[in-house]
Structure 1
Amino acid sequence: MDLATRYMGLTLRNPLLASASPLSNTLDGVKRLADAGVAAIVLYSLFEEQVRQEAERNARLVDAGADSFAESLSYFPAGAQLETEPPRYLNLIERAAGAVQIPVIASLNGATPGGWTSYARAMQDAGAAAIELNIYSLPGDPHTSGRDVEQRHLDILQRVKDTVSVPVAVKLGPHFSSTGEIALRLDRAGADALVLFNRFLQPDVDPEQLTVVPAVDLSRPAEARLARTWISLLRHQVRASLAATTGVEEPADVVKYLLAGADVVMSASALLRHGPQYATVLLDGLTAWMRRKGYASVGELRGLLAVPADSDQAAYERAGYVRALRAANASLGPW
Structure 2
Amino acid sequence: MDLSTKYMGLALSNPLVASAGPLSGTLDGIKRLEDGGVAAVVMFSLFEEQIRHENAAFSHLMELGSDSFAESLSYFPEMGAYQIGPESYLDLIRRATETVDIPVIASLNCVSDRGWADYAKQMQQAGAHGLELNVYSVAADLDMDGAAVEQRYLDILLAVKGAVSIPVSLKLSPFFSAMGHMAKRLDWAGADALVLFNRFYQPDIDIQALEVAPTLQLSSPGEIRLPLLWIALLHGKLRASLAATRGVDTADEVVKYLLAGADVVMTTSALLRHGPAYAATLLDGVKHWMEGRGFGCIEQMRGIMSHGRAANPAAFERANYIRVLESYQSPYAST
In structure 1, the partner of 2:220 is: 220
Counterpart Cα distance in 1 of 2:26 and 2:115: 23
By percentage of residues, which structure has more helix? 1
* Mean Cα deviation higher: 161-170 or 321-330: 321-330
Counterpart Cα distance in 1 of 2:85 and 2:208: 36
Counterpart Cα distance in 1 of 2:259 and 2:125: 36
What amino acid sits opposite 1:126 in the alignment? Answer: A
8 Å contact from structure 1 (residues 233, 313) kept in 2: no
Give CA deviations for 1:194-231 in whole Å, capped at 9, x if unaligned. 00000011110011111111111110000010000000
Counterpart Cα distance in 2 of 1:5 and 1:181: 26
* Mean Cα deviation higher: 131-140 or 316-325: 316-325
In structure 2, the partner of 1:244 is: 244
Q: Secondary structure at the match of 1:170?
A: strand
In structure 2, the partner of 1:66 is: 66
In structure 1, the partner of 2:281 is: 281
Structure 1 portions without partners, runs of 5+ = none
Give CA deviations for 1:19-67 in whole Å, capped at 9, x if unaligned. 0000001000000001111000000000011101101111111222222
What amino acid sits opposite 1:245 in the alignment? Answer: T
Counterpart Cα distance in 1 of 2:331 and 2:51: 53
Q: Secondary structure at the match of 2:317?
A: helix
User: Equivalent residues in 2 for 1:50-129 (5 A)?
Assistant: 50-73=50-73, 84=84, 86-129=86-129
In structure 2, the partner of 1:299 is: 299
In structure 2, the partner of 1:195 is: 195
8 Å contact from structure 2 (residues 32, 277) kept in 1: yes
Q: Relative to structure 1, is the Cα distance of residues 119 and 313 closer, same or farther in structure 2, using a 3 angstrom cutoff? A: farther
Counterpart Cα distance in 2 of 1:109 and 1:45: 7
* Mean Cα deviation higher: 237-246 or 55-64: 55-64
User: Equivalent residues in 2 for 1:40-51 (5 A)?
Assistant: 40-51=40-51
What amino acid sits opposite 2:214 in the alignment? Answer: P
In structure 1, the partner of 2:168 is: 168
In structure 2, the partner of 1:211 is: 211
Count of residue correspondences = 334
In structure 2, the partner of 1:137 is: 137
What amino acid sits opposite 2:143 in the alignment? Answer: H
Q: Relative to structure 1, is the Cα distance of residues 312 and 274 closer, same or farther in structure 2, using a 3 angstrom cutoff? A: closer
| Offset, 1:85 | 5.3
Counterpart Cα distance in 2 of 1:223 and 1:13: 26
Q: Secondary structure at the match of 1:67?
A: coil
8 Å contact from structure 1 (residues 237, 309) kept in 2: no
How much identity, in percent, do the aligned residues show? 55
Moved over 4 A (4+): 71-74, 76-85, 309-316, 329-335
Counterpart Cα distance in 2 of 1:188 and 1:311: 29
In structure 2, the partner of 1:265 is: 265
Q: Relative to structure 1, is the Cα distance of residues 98 and 250 closer, same or farther in structure 2, using a 3 angstrom cutoff? A: same
Q: Relative to structure 1, is the Cα distance of residues 282 and 310 closer, same or farther in structure 2, using a 3 angstrom cutoff? A: closer
8 Å contact from structure 1 (residues 261, 303) kept in 2: yes
| Offset, 1:252 | 0.4
* Mean Cα deviation higher: 300-309 or 58-67: 58-67
Q: Relative to structure 1, is the Cα distance of residues 198 and 55 closer, same or farther in structure 2, using a 3 angstrom cutoff? A: same
Q: Secondary structure at the match of 1:133?
A: strand
8 Å contact from structure 2 (residues 314, 320) kept in 1: no
Structure 2 portions without partners, runs of 5+ = none
Q: Relative to structure 1, is the Cα distance of residues 304 and 331 closer, same or farther in structure 2, using a 3 angstrom cutoff? A: farther
Q: Secondary structure at the match of 2:106?
A: strand
Q: Give the RMSD, CA atoms, in angstroms.
A: 2.3
Q: Relative to structure 1, is the Cα distance of residues 330 and 208 closer, same or farther in structure 2, using a 3 angstrom cutoff? A: closer
8 Å contact from structure 1 (residues 236, 309) kept in 2: no
* Mean Cα deviation higher: 78-87 or 181-190: 78-87
Q: TM-score with structure 2 length normalisation?
A: 0.94
